[in-house]
A and B are shown apart, each in its own frame.
Chain A
Amino acid sequence: MSMAAIATHAERSFLEAGDRKGLLGWILSTDHKRIAILYLFSMLSFFLVGMTIGVLMRLEQLTMGPTIMQPQMYNAMFTLHGVIMIFLFVIPGLPASFGNFFLPILIGAKDVAFPRLNLLSWYFFIIGAVLAVTSLFTGGGPPDTGWTFYAPYSIRTGTNVSLAVFAAFVLGFSSILTGLNFVTTIHRLRAPGMTLHRMPLFAWSLYATGWVQILATPIIAITLMLVLLERVFGIGVFDPAKGGDPVLYQHLFWIYSHPAVYIMILPAMGAITEIIPTFAHRTIFGYRFIAYSSVAIAALGSLVWAHHMFTSGISDMASLVFSLLTFLVAIPSAIKVFNWVSTLYKGSIDLQPPMLYALSFIFLFCIGGLTGVMQGALAVNVHVHDTYFIVGHFHYVMFGGTGFGFFAALLYWFPKMFGKMYNRRVATVAWFPLFIGFNVLYFTMLVLGWEGMPRRYYDHLPQYHTLHVVATVGSWFLVSGILILLGNFVVALFRGEKAEMNPWGGITLEWTIPSPPPVENFEEVPTITQSPYHFNPVVRR
Chain B
Amino acid sequence: MSSPVAHVDAHEHAVHRDYGGAKIGMWLFLFTEIILFGGLFILYSAYRSKYPHEFHDAGSELNWVMGVINTVVLLTSSLSMALSITAVQKGNRRLSMLLLAVTVTLGAVFLTVKYFEWMVKIHHGLYPNGPELLKRPPGEMLFFGLYFTMTGLHGLHVIAGMVVLSIMLVLLARGRIRQDDYIKLENAGLYWHLVDVIWIFLLPLFYLAA
Contacts and interface: CB of A to CB of B under 8 A. Distances in A.
Asked whether the complex places CB atoms of A and B closer than 8 A, the reply is yes
Interface of A: 1, 6, 9, 19, 110-111, 113-115, 117, 176, 179-181, 183-184, 187-189, 214-219, 221-223, 226, 229, 233-237, 241-245, 248, 251-252, 255, 520
Nearest to B44: A237
Contacts of A183: 24, 28
A187 B21 contact: yes
Nearest to B37: A222
Contacts of B81: none
Nearest to A249: B43
Contact of A236 (B11, B16, B142): B142
B172 to A, nearest CB: 21
A237 B24 contact: no
B12 A6 contact: yes
B141 A236 contact: yes
Contact of A110 (B14, B43, B54, B148): B14
B42 A252 contact: yes
Contacts of A255: 39
Given A6-B12, A180-B28, A244 B142 contact: yes
Contacts of A176: 29, 32
Nearest to A233: B128
B146 A188 contact: no
B192 to A, nearest CB: 19
A217 B32 contact: yes
B153 to A, nearest CB: 8
A279 to B, nearest CB: 35
Contacts, number: 115
Query: DSSP majority for the B interface?
Result: helix
Given A189-B4, A248-B43, A236 B36 contact: no
25 contacts: A19-B11, A111-B16, A113-B18, A114-B25, A115-B16, A176-B32, A184-B24, A184-B25, A188-B4, A188-B24, A189-B21, A216-B35, A218-B38, A229-B149, A233-B128, A233-B148, A236-B128, A236-B141, A236-B142, A237-B145, A242-B145, A245-B47, A251-B42, A252-B39, A252-B42
Contacts of A188: 4, 18, 20-21, 24
Interface residues of B, number: 40
B44 to A, nearest CB: 10
Nearest to A114: B25
A1 B10 CA distance: 9
Nearest to B34: A218
B129 interface: yes
Contacts of B4: 188-189
Interface in B84-101: none
B20 to A, nearest CB: 7
A221 B36 contact: yes
A221 B153 CA distance: 12
A245 to B, nearest CB: 7
B31 interface: yes
